[in-house]
Structure 1
Amino acid sequence: MDNPFISVRKYIKWGDEPRGENTNTLVLTARSKHFVDIRIFNDLPLPDDPDDKTAIQRLEWASPIPSKLSWAGEILKPAHAIWTHWIDSTTTSPVKDEGDMYPQSDGTVLEYGIMANPKTGKMTKYEECWEDVEPALVGDEEEFVSWVLICDDAESGTKGMLIRIGEIIQGLVRTPKGISVVRWEWNANAETEEEAEWERAVAIGRLEVPGILFEEGENIVKGVELMGSDGLDWLCVEAFEWS
């Protein structure tokens, strides 16, 4: 299996339209290929007020996917992938899209496929360019850390996923009240090491990461159950460290 990785999108091209990028798109992909894909319209600053009811308008699209991708190991040749959206920020109906991944000599990956265009709602051919970003160590950790948490409460109609890859945590939850999105980043650029800490970079709605996950030295293992301050219950379905 691959190590977990962080991907940013450099551009997207819909049909015959020109290439462009009007979003901040970041994807965290775990070793198991679970991933959380969040796309926020580019206007700065990024939304970071859980009480701002208008912030949802900044979200183009988000989806956590417990994905079964068709490739194994590194993408060294064209690979086909099918994504079934476990949650989709734009709809409660089942959504599935698929694409073909073509690695490029400069290290980027071109993805060609068909999916719903957020502007039109219609299934449209697309081209995306992705670039992987090296994860960073956090604090005194000697290895890179990754974990995947799932919230799945059929009784309350709540589903969500949180993923950490290195210095970034992001997640999405759907409750009967709507969609909430969060992203946290380790501030390694603080003036001193003592001032370095986790900082929330994005908040659309209220999604609380369990506080223990920010504590250095805490060894999160598969199967552990956690609760956020918002009362949501989370189950760790994957925990992995690598160097």
Structure 2
Amino acid sequence: MSISIRDSIRWLPNPASEPTSTIVLTSPEHRFVDVRILKDINNDDLSGRLDWAFAGISSSETRNGVRHCTWRHVVDGRTRTPEEVVDEGDIFPQDDGRTLETGHMVNPDTGKMTDYEEIWRDLEPEGIPEDTDEQPRARCVVLELKDAEREQRGMVVCLGQHCQGVMRQGDSFAAERWQWINGEWRLKFRVGELWIPGPEHIYADVISSQNKHIMGENMLQKWDVVEMSYA
């Protein structure tokens, strides 16, 4: 499991920059939710506008001594056919503990396939304080929504003190980001009108009662608990 923060992206041959707040939460079974929120042009505050959000399953292999990763999308804010998205890159550890990812993908500003470089750093998952003297362990819970009849797909990853979710229903899309701050869960970002279960539902409905499902608004969504583990 990992909490990955992107520090910069470079579309070659342009210089590196970071116009977004990008966080990727990945579970032990390699399910992930990636949410990228545009920053305000005058500071590092979130602008309230979504750059990109998607979820899926990652895999990796070694090619000629280099770790090569593939991220297969099952929900994507930019397309109704996420299985057609090719998302892969090579990973190189850096001396400062961060990682360099290189590859090529469509530059949203130009619409053309472009070589890119991204710098990532990982955060150590931290547990949520509980009514015990023991040091809390970081918990990972993953919810998944699959309903072909209603054209619904969604995924939520709640890892330690971070939680992100995405959902698509037909042409509609929604994304959320939550963070544990000063003893409570706070909604940091939301876009779209679709209902997504947040950490309050995960802790109340899944962890406290060991439920294997969370039913959405009007009972028209059935989110399955597909993973629950500790760091």
Task: Tell me how far 1:180 sits from its aligned partner.
Answer: 0.1
Instruction: Give the Cα separation in 1 of the matches to 2:179 and 2:17.
Output: 26
Map 1:74-223 → 2, pairs under 5 A: 78-93=66-81, 94-140=84-130, 142-187=136-181, 189=182, 196-206=183-193, 207-209=195-197, 211-215=200-204, 218=207
Residues 106-153 of structure 1 show CA distances to partners (whole Å, capped at 9, x for unaligned) of 110000001111212222110000000122221217211001111011
The structure carrying a bigger strand percent of its residues is 2
Q: Does 1:36 align with 2:33?
A: yes
Task: Tell me how far 1:45 sits from its aligned partner.
Answer: 4.8
Runs (4+) of structure 1 exceeding 6 A deviation are none
Q: Specify the alignment match of 1:25 in structure 2.
A: 22
Match of 2:207, SS state, is coil
Q: Does 1:67 align with 2:58?
A: yes
TM-score w.r.t. length of structure 2 = 0.86
Q: Does 1:46 align with 2:43?
A: no
* Alignment check: 8 A CA contact 1:34 1:64 kept: yes
Instruction: Give the Cα separation in 1 of the matches to 2:154 and 2:96.
Output: 35
Instruction: Give the Cα separation in 1 of the matches to 2:13 and 2:103.
Output: 14
The aligned amino acid for 2:22 is T
RMSD, aligned CA: 2.3
* Alignment check: 8 A CA contact 1:41 1:59 kept: yes
Task: Tell me how far 1:215 sits from its aligned partner.
Answer: 3.4
Match of 2:109, SS state, is coil
* Alignment check: 8 A CA contact 2:166 2:196 kept: no
Which consecutive residues of structure 2, in runs of 5 or more, have no partner in the other structure? Answer: none
Instruction: Give the Cα separation in 2 of the matches to 1:25 and 1:142.
Output: 26
Change (3 A) 1:115 1:241: same
Task: Tell me how far 1:220 sits from its aligned partner.
Answer: 7.3
The aligned amino acid for 1:69 is S
Change (3 A) 1:225 1:96: same
Residues 68-91 of structure 1 show CA distances to partners (whole Å, capped at 9, x for unaligned) of 3336xxxxx730012222122112
TM-score w.r.t. length of structure 1 = 0.82
Of residues 8, 11, 15 in structure 1, which corresponds to 2:8? 11
Instruction: Give the Cα separation in 1 of the matches to 2:125 and 2:71.
Output: 24
The aligned amino acid for 1:35 is F
Q: Does 1:235 align with 2:229?
A: no
* Alignment check: 8 A CA contact 2:25 2:32 kept: yes
Task: Tell me how far 1:219 sits from its aligned partner.
Answer: 5.1
Instruction: Give the Cα separation in 2 of the matches to 1:144 and 1:21.
Output: 28
Task: Tell me how far 1:217 sits from its aligned partner.
Answer: 9.3
* Alignment check: 8 A CA contact 1:220 1:239 kept: no
Deviates more, 1:211-220 or 1:62-71: 211-220
Instruction: Give the Cα separation in 2 of the matches to 1:184 and 1:234.
Output: 18
* Alignment check: 8 A CA contact 1:8 1:27 kept: yes
Q: Specify the alignment match of 1:51 in structure 2.
A: none
